[in-house]
Amino acid sequence: MNYFDLFQFTPAFDINTAQLADRYRDLQRAVHPDKFAHESEQQKLLSVQRTAQINDGYQTLKTPLLRAEHILSLRGLELSHETTTLKDTRFLMQQMEWREALEDINHSSEPQDLIDSLYDSFADFEKNLFTHLTQLLAKDNQADNLLAADQIRKLKFMAKLQDELSRIEDKLLD
């Protein structure tokens, strides 16, 4: 399923997200099961299936990381269930340092300051990854697609770190 087609967008990493949200709402108005509440079971089932597809497409196109993966998948590069590991040692070292910093939060006298500064570092790092990813995806050739896939893998690492940090922050606030 090409979600760009479903939402009538040209496949590209840069998309107008406000327009995407508008189109999403218009599609929902046309197919949502609530529009078929007093219709036959067949219509209802069909509507549930189409709406599920539209919801999936919207999430995919709305979330930059998923959108990038979808573009690569349309170009024949499937990342969703892969087991390839990253070989960038500098990146992995950085990850380990951050992991250690996460562990230090609980022993810190000013945990919230540390948390805030980590959020900032993560955001900066992610921003760079995304800039690079955008450039690579725009080139659309085999070599650059492979490099783009590496950026995506790194961004997934970053997402996990963010989750971890939020969990630690929650525990601290409770």
Partner 1 sequence: MALLQIAEPGQSAAPHQHRLAVGIDLGTTNSLVASVRSGEATTLSDELQRHSLPSVVHYGNDEISVGYDAQSQSATDPANTIVSVKRFMGRSLDDVKASGSQGYSLTASENGLPVFNTAHGQYNPIQVSAEILRPLIERAEKTLGGDLQGAVITVPAYFDDAQRQGTKDAAELLGVKVLRLLNEPTAAAIAYGLDTKQEGVIAIYDLGGGTFDISVLRLNRGVFEVLATGGDSALGGDDFDHLLQAHIQSALGIVEPTIQLNRQIQIEARRVKEALTFADIVTASIESDGQTLSCEITKAQFEQLIAALVKKTISSCRRTLRDAGVSADEVLETVMVGGSTRVPLVREKVADFFKKMPLTSIDPDRVVALGAAIQADILAGNKPDSDLLLLDVLPLSLGIETMGGLVEKVVTRNTTIPVARAQEFTTFKDGQTAMAFHVVQGERELVDDCRSLARFTLKGIPPLAAGAAHIRVTFQVDADGLLSVTAMEKSTEVQTTIQVKPSFGLSDTEIATMLKDSMKHAKDDITRRMLTEQKVEAARVIESLTAALAKDGDLLSAAERSQLDESIKALDTLAQADDSDAIEAAIADLDEQTQDFASKRMDNSIKAALTGQSVDNI
List residues near partner 1 by CB under 8 A.
6-8, 19, 21-23, 25-34, 37-43, 46-56, 58-59, 166, 170, 173-174
- Residue pair 136/144 in contact by the 8 Å Cβ criterion: yes
For the chain, the straight-line distance linking the first and the last C-alpha, in angstroms and rounded, comes to 43
Q: Between 39 and 97, whose beta carbon lies closer to partner 1? A: 39
Q: Between 58 and 98, whose beta carbon lies closer to partner 1? A: 58
Q: Between 19 and 142, whose beta carbon lies closer to partner 1? A: 19
Q: What b/e string do you get for 54-89 counting C-beta neighbours within 10 Å, with b at 16 or more?
A: beebbebbeebbbbbbbbbeeeebebeeeeeeeeee
Closest distance to partner 1 from the beta carbon of 112 (Å): 13
Closest distance to partner 1 from the beta carbon of 77 (Å): 19
Closest distance to partner 1 from the beta carbon of 115 (Å): 13
Closest distance to partner 1 from the beta carbon of 123 (Å): 14
CA dihedral 55, 43, 27, 57 (to 10 degrees): 30
Residue located via tokens 């189409």: 50
Q: Between 14 and 140, whose beta carbon lies closer to partner 1? A: 14
- Residue pair 107/173 in contact by the 8 Å Cβ criterion: no
